[in-house]
Structure 1
Amino acid sequence: MANSRQLAAELGAALLARGESVSTAESCTGGMIAAAITDVPGSSGWFSHGVVSYGNQAKQQLLKVQASSLMDHGAVSERVVREMAAGAQALANADWAVAVSGIAGPDGGSPDKPVGLVWLAIAHPGGQTEAWSRHFAGDRQAVRQQTMEEALARLLDRVHAGASQA
């Protein structure tokens, strides 16, 4: 997989070519996706908002995640990550948004939600949101790094796919 700097630069070029923007909502990565994006010179032309919503209160207050979603499904779930992506997209009035929530470890896992489980979501222009989960191996930093790269790579793929449909 390409490194995060290359992925973010390619994402920026694709978004600029389309006149579109992206926002982020991050839990387990703690802002790593936004940091990779803002490492790209000129990223202010396609990125204005990144939310680190590590705690449930932040997810609710900043991204409008429903308390019932957190209670019924937990922070690391398809429902919550979809709501995070939609909330980040609305907050920034962005065309695209990417959201991540996971268990980076070394603690916090359970049989149902083991360490390394991450849910990711992308909110597309027009209201469609996709979500998927991955189970990454390695220590805390490895899980966070792989999550960031997965999010950027899938987002880049979706932006390119959207460009071919336009």
Structure 2
Amino acid sequence: MPLLLDDVALMERVSDLADVLRARGLRITTAESCTGGLIAALCTSLAGSSDWFERGFVTYSNAAKAEALGVDAALITTHGAVSEAVVLAMARGALTHSAADLSLAVTGIAGPGGATPGKPVGLVWLGWAWREGAEMKAEADRQVWPGDRTAVRSATVQWGLERLLALAAGRSAR
């Protein structure tokens, strides 16, 4: 399977995202677990991305989620790292620990191992957060992607960026 950077349609989507973010004066941040920085790499592969990409967090371990993003360890213990509660905390934490306007967070089980009862390989939680005045809003989405590790990570990147583009299109500068 080709690298995501070789995916012309995906790179066009990132370019579309860049155009919308620049036009609206917005910046994004990412908090990635199962994608290991792929989203940040795609975004920063475009020249001039420093105009709209503020920073990326790769928080693969539970400790990193707590230390870098402020995710409460009790959330991880209670719900597991691959959960709605944790991805929402990751999305909010990325926004809190950056100067960005929008965040995208992902946590999942890309496989081939790691499945637990009720949490199959391919399960991914995606979260997005944004500021609305003095308030922070967030939403999450649960997906179970078919295929191998590369397919799960690729689908996660694509869906995360697609939804981020839709959110950015509806936002305006602070």
Is the pair's TM-score, using the shorter chain for normalization, greater than 0.5?
A: yes
Secondary structure at the aligned position of 1:82 is classed as helix
Aligned to 1:71: 77
Asked if structure 2 preserves the Cα contact closer than 8 Å seen for 1:103 and 1:114, the reply is yes
Deviation at 1:41, TM superposition (A): 1.3
Deviations 1:78-137 (A, max 9, x none): 000001011111111210000000000000112310000000000022211000110000
- Residues 153-162 or 45-54, more deviating: 153-162
Secondary structure at the aligned position of 1:68 is classed as helix
What TM-score does the superposition give when structure 2 sets the normalisation length?
0.90
Residue 131 (structure 1) aligned to one of 126, 133, 140 = 140
**Alignment coverage as a number of residue pairs:** 163
Counterpart Cα distance in 2 of 1:80 and 1:7:
27
- Where in structure 1 do 4 or more consecutive aligned residues deviate above 4 Å? none
Counterpart Cα distance in 1 of 2:99 and 2:75:
23
Mark the runs of 5 or more structure 2 residues left unpaired by the alignment. Answer: 1-7
Report percent identity of matched pairs: 47
Residue 106 (structure 2) aligned to one of 100, 104, 113 = 100
Asked if structure 2 preserves the Cα contact closer than 8 Å seen for 1:28 and 1:102, the reply is yes
For residues 105-120 of structure 1, what are the structure 2 equivalents within 5 Å? 105-120=111-126
Amino acid corresponding to residue 152 of structure 1 in structure 2: L
Q: What is the root-mean-square deviation in Å for CA atoms of aligned residues?
A: 1.3
Asked if structure 1 preserves the Cα contact closer than 8 Å seen for 2:69 and 2:94, the reply is yes
Asked if structure 2 preserves the Cα contact closer than 8 Å seen for 1:3 and 1:149, the reply is no
Aligned to 2:44: 38
Deviation at 1:157, TM superposition (A): 1.0
Deviation at 1:48, TM superposition (A): 2.2
Residue 171 (structure 2) aligned to one of 143, 159, 162 = 162
Mark the runs of 5 or more structure 1 residues left unpaired by the alignment. Answer: none
Aligned to 1:150: 159
Secondary structure at the aligned position of 1:99 is classed as strand
Aligned to 2:3: none
Asked if structure 1 preserves the Cα contact closer than 8 Å seen for 2:24 and 2:171, the reply is no
Asked if structure 1 preserves the Cα contact closer than 8 Å seen for 2:30 and 2:103, the reply is yes
